[in-house]
Chains A and B, each alone.
Chain A
Amino acid sequence: MANNEIMTINMGPQHPSTHGVLRMVIELDGETILKIDPDIGYLHRGVEKLSEHRTYHQTLPLTDRLDYLAPMSNNLGYILAVEKLLGIEPPERAQTIRIIMTELTRLQSHLVWLACHALDIGAMTVFIYAFREREAVMETYELISGARMTSNFFRAGGLSQDVPPEFEKKVRDFVNDMPGYIDTYEGLLTANPIWLKRTVGNGVISAEDATDIGITGPALRGSGVDFDLRRDITYAGYDSYKFEIPVGKECDTFDRYKVRLIEMRESCKIVNQALDRLKPGPVLADVPQVCYPPKDSVYNSIEGLIHHFKIASEGYKVPEGEVYMGIEAPKGELGFYIVSDGSSKPYRMRIRPPSFVNLQAIEKMAKGSMVADLVAIIGTLDIVLGEIDR
C-alpha cells in the first residue's frame, strides 16, 4: 500500500468499546481520522410504534428497555409526561422515593460509565471497583421492585408499591459510603499520568458547537455550559433540594470525567436530603380512574376487583392534548413528547433519547485525532445503544 493512501476501516458492531452494537465506518490517513460515519439501528425495536398500540400502562415497561443502565430515569420521564397530560400529582412520599431512586440510578449509570470508560482506556481496576458499588444499587432495585434492571416501578400517580422497611438503611449506608469509593476512583485516575495523557485535550468540543449539536447532560456541562434541567426547567420537586451543578472549562474528556464524578457526589447529597424528608404516607394518588386499587381491596371486595379489572383491561383514558416532558437523565436530556387523542393509547409517543443526539457530535470531536482516541471519545459521550435505536 502506498504511503499516502486513505484507508476505510470498519469498527463494530461487535467491538468491546462500542458499548453495544454501534458500527462505524472510519476513513483513516495513517492513524488519523478523516471521517466517521456511525451506523446505528441494530437494536431498533420500534418502541414508538409499539406504544401506539398499547395502553399507557402497557407502554411503561417498554421504557425500561431504552437506556437499560438507567431504567428508573426512563420510567420517571414517561410517567411525568403522562401525569402532565392527566393533570395529576403524586403524593409526597412517592415524590421523595422517586427522587431517591432516580439519583441512585444516576449513580449507577455513572458507575457503569466510569467502569467502561476506564476499561476502554486500559484501567482495569476501576472497572472491578465500580461494578462492586453498582451491585448495591442493583440490590436496592431488587428490594423494591423485584427486578435488578427492568424495574417498572413508577406509576402514573405515584409508585407501584411502597418500599420495604429495610430500604432506608440500605440506601443511607450506600450514599454515606459512596463518597469514599469515589475518592478511591479519583485516587486511581485523576492524577494518573496515563489517564491524563489519554483524556486531557481529547475530544474537545466548544460550548457553542455543543449547544448547536444539541448535546445535553454532563457532556454539555463539561464544555462549560451551565445548564441542568433539574435546576433550570425543574420537575418532580427538584427545586426544593440543594445541590451544586459542576461545570467544566477545557471542554475535553478529562473535564467531562471531572463533571461526572462531582455529579455523583452531588447525587449522594440529594439522596441524603430526600431520606431526611421521607415520612410515612400513601404512595399512590387518590385518583381511582387512573390508579390501581390497593391489593387488599382487589382480593377482598367485588368493587376492588372490578376496579382493578377495568384499569387492567381498558387502561385509563387520557384527555386530549400534547405535552413534552424533558428530564435530566444520567446521559442528558431525555424527552417524552406524547400526543393524546383522548383514548387510552397514545396517539403518538416520541422519545427524545439523549445518546442519539449526543452521538452526532462524534464526527466533530474525533476528526483529526488518532483512532485509539476514538475509543476514549465513545466512552466520554456515555452512549447506550438501547436508547439510540429504540
Chain B
Amino acid sequence: MSNTNRAVEKLQGKYDSAILDVKQDRGDWIVTVKKEYLVDVLTFLKQECKFDMLTDVTALDYLDKAEDRFVMVYQLTSVPFKDRLRIKAPVAEADVTIDSATQVYASANWLEREVYDLFGIIFKKHPDLRRILMTPDWEGHPLRKDYPLQGPGREPYKGRLS
C-alpha cells in the first residue's frame, strides 16, 4: 500500500480548489470534490489518467448526520493501469441536483437513473431521467433513510408472533 496515488497527485495539481478531501480507507483512495466540478474532474480523470470505466454510481443518505444530506459516489476503474479510484461529491438537500456524468461515461445512464429512482437526486442534462426499478407512478424514494422499510402508510412489521 503506497502513500501516494498517481491520479490523486495529478488531480491535486490541476483541481486543487475543487477538492474538499483526500483520504485512504483500507487501501481505497477516496477524493471528495465540490459537485460543481464533478464533470470536469471526471473528464480529466478519463482523459489524462486513463480511468476509462465508470464502474458504479451510487449515493449515500446522511440524514441528520452531515451538513449535506446526500453524497454521490463514483467508482472509477482503469483498465490499462488496473487500479481504482473513488470520487465523492456532496449534494445538499436544499438543491438535490448534480450534473450528469453521462456526458463523460455512457455507463452512467442507467446507474444515474437508479440513483434518481431510489434517492431522488436529479441529474442535470441526463438524456433519459426516468424511474428504472420502481414503477413510473411510485411516490417517494425508497433508499432514503426517512423512507420506512415496509413502505409508506403501513404498520411496521413486528415479527411473526406479534
Partners in one complex: yes
Contact of B107 among A84, A213, A348 (CB under 8 A): A213
* B75 and A335 form a contact (CB under 8 A): yes
Q: Does B97 contact A (CB under 8 A)?
A: no
Complex: how many Å from CA A220 to CA B101? Answer: 21
Complex: how many Å from CA A293 to CA B142? Answer: 37
Interface residues on B, range: 35 or more
Q: Does B134 contact A (CB under 8 A)?
A: yes
Contact of B26 among A46, A50, A87 (CB under 8 A): A87
* A227 and B79 form a contact (CB under 8 A): yes
B80-108 toward A: CB 8 Å interface, digit per residue (1/0)?
A: 00111010000000000000000001110
Q: Does A306 contact B (CB under 8 A)?
A: no
Stretch in contact with the other chain, from B4-12, B13-21, B56-64: B56-64
* B79 and A212 form a contact (CB under 8 A): no
Q: B residues within 8 A CB of A326?
A: 55, 75, 77, 84
Complex: how many Å from CA A350 to CA B133? Answer: 15
Q: How far is the CB of A367 from chain B (nearest CB, A)?
A: 14
Q: B residues within 8 A CB of A335?
A: 55-56, 75
Q: Closest residue of chain B to A350, judged by CB?
A: B58
Q: A residues within 8 A CB of B83?
A: 233
Number of A-B contacts defined by CB within 8 Å: 99
* A41 and B132 form a contact (CB under 8 A): yes
* A53 and B149 form a contact (CB under 8 A): yes
Q: Is the interface of A mostly helix, strand, loop or mixed?
A: mixed
Q: Does B129 contact A (CB under 8 A)?
A: no
Q: B residues within 8 A CB of A359?
A: 110
Q: B residues within 8 A CB of A339?
A: 60
* A232 and B55 form a contact (CB under 8 A): no
Q: How far is the CB of A346 from chain B (nearest CB, A)?
A: 11
Complex: how many Å from CA A243 to CA B110? Answer: 34
Complex: how many Å from CA A320 to CA B74? Answer: 20
Q: Decide yes or no: A212 and B111 within 8 Å by CB, A49-B149, A337-B58, A352-B55 being known contacts.
A: no
* A85 and B132 form a contact (CB under 8 A): no
Complex: how many Å from CA A335 to CA B107? Answer: 15
Q: How far is the CB of B24 from chain A (nearest CB, A)?
A: 11
Q: How far is the CB of A62 from chain B (nearest CB, A)?
A: 13
Q: A residues within 8 A CB of B107?
A: 212-214, 357, 360
User: Could you tell me which residues of chain A, from 341 to 390, have a CB within 8 Å of some CB in chain B?
Assistant: 347-348, 350, 352, 356-357, 359-360, 389-390
Contact of B73 among A213, A337, A347 (CB under 8 A): A337
Q: Decide yes or no: A44 and B133 within 8 Å by CB, A348-B60, A360-B110 being known contacts.
A: yes
